[in-house]
Amino acid sequence: MKKLTKLDSASAIAIRDCMGAKKNEKILVITDEIKREIGISLHENSIRLGHESLLVEMKSGKINGEEPSDVVAELMQKYDVVFCPTAKSLTHTDARRNASAKGVRIATFPGITKDVMIRGMNADYKKISALTVKLQKILETGKEIRVTAPAGTDITFRIAGRKAYASKGLFHASGESGNLPTGEAFLAPVEGTSNGVFVVDGSMAGLGLIKNANIRIEVENGYATKISGGTLAKKLKVMLDKVGKEARNIAEFGIGTNDSAKLSGVLLEDEKVMGTIHIALGNNVSMGGRVNVPIHLDGVVKKPTVWMDEKLIMKDGKLHV
């Protein structure tokens, strides 16, 4: 019998603790050629823990939010638990939403690396879950959010009537889904209500850590109208312009709640870092919005101050809840 590795332990926590997989439940692992090592680990540990498991490898997608093939989408609806360790995110896809609607529990690991898997999965998810649910409930009582930050962020948007979500790392109920590793409370700002500037100084989905020039995004009536900065800003514009105007929709506001996560350049981990917020562009259908485009890109902001209806929720990256 082979000696269990740290990756094996992380996979076992994902299967047993985070998903609460029961012995008779069948597990599907969808991976790609880039994240094969993690896919194999989840598959092999599913079998080791007594589950029937199928491993499916597809060709990596080109952008976050791209739909998998019809065959993969159909398979997702036939299992109890689905893991998606892939280079590009399957979180904001119809395939994931349709499987969730059938009661399948799904964990997505977009852009996961071995280091992030080992570090992020060894967090205290009971503690993370309690804090995340607390923040979710606070956000659901609000009407408007304002965020400022030292790098120049100053943006407001309406949240009245929007459902908030807790990606808390424990997906035990029918149809629950989210990222692993995780830890964030998030919602979709009301379309057309975001105005101001947000400056991405942590990391940007698909582009990695911000090292030299920050990405400055000017927002008018719910859309990113001007994007400036260095090379990464130019790359971001190209990604958005391939999809069209709706890719510039202000899609998500989230607060990180994982104190084991650190800024690594892998957005999956970066957006969960305690002391940061993130704002995303593009698709917001998964969180109750109405913009359905094949792109969802989050930008992480460091040391934010957050007000909700004049109430201080966070100051300079420290939560006040």
What is the pLDDT confidence band of residue 124, given thresholds at 50, 70 and 90? confident
Q: Which pTM does this prediction carry?
A: 0.86
Q: What is the pLDDT of residues 93-118, one digit of tens each?
A: 999 999 999 999 999 999 999 999 99
Kindly write down the DSSP assignment for every residue of 69-115, as one continuous string. Answer: -HHHHHHHTTSSEEEE--SS--TTSHHHHHHHHTT-EEEE-TT--HH
Burial 166-196 (b: 16+ CB within 10 A, else e): bbbbbbeeeebbbbbbbbbbbbbbbbebbbb
**Average pLDDT of the segment spanning 283-291:** 94
Average pLDDT score over the chain: 96
Identify the structural domains of the chain with CATH numbers, from first to last.
Answer: 6-121 (3.40.1830.10), 125-319 (no CATH)
Give the pLDDT score at 126: 86
How far is it, in rounded angstroms, from Cα 245 to Cα 197? 18
pLDDT level of residue 125 (50, 70, 90 thresholds) = confident
**18 residue type, one letter:** C
Q: What are phi and psi of 319, to 5 degrees?
A: -70, 140
Q: Is the confidence at residue 184, as pLDDT, over 80?
A: yes
Residue 32 has pLDDT above 90, yes or no: yes
pLDDT at 1: 65
Encode pLDDT of 200-227 as tens digits: 999 999 899 999 899 999 999 999 999 9
Is 221 in contact with 283 (CB distance < 8 Å)? no
Q: Left (φ > 0), alpha (ψ -120 to 50) or beta: where does 62 sit?
A: alpha
In the block, tokens 């104190």 appear at 259
The encoded tokens of residue 139 equal: 């956000």
At 275-285, the pLDDT tens digits run: 999 999 999 99
pLDDT of residue 107: 97
Which pLDDT tens digit goes with each residue over 156-179? 999 999 999 999 889 999 999 999
Per the listing, tokens 């119809």 go with: 94
For the cut 90, the answer to whether the pLDDT of residue 50 exceeds it is yes
Tokens of 185: 């409370």
What does the pLDDT read at residue 2? 76
Residues 283-311: what's their mean pLDDT?
95
Q: Say yes or no to pLDDT of 198 above 80.
A: yes
Q: What is the rounded CA–CA span in Å between residue 37 and residue 153?
A: 38
Q: Taking a C-beta distance cutoff of 8 angstroms, is the pair 189, 139 a contact?
A: no
Q: Mean pLDDT throughout 11-22?
A: 95
User: 214-263: per-residue pLDDT in tens?
Assistant: 999 999 999 999 999 999 999 999 999 999 999 999 999 999 999 999 99
pLDDT at position 86 is 97
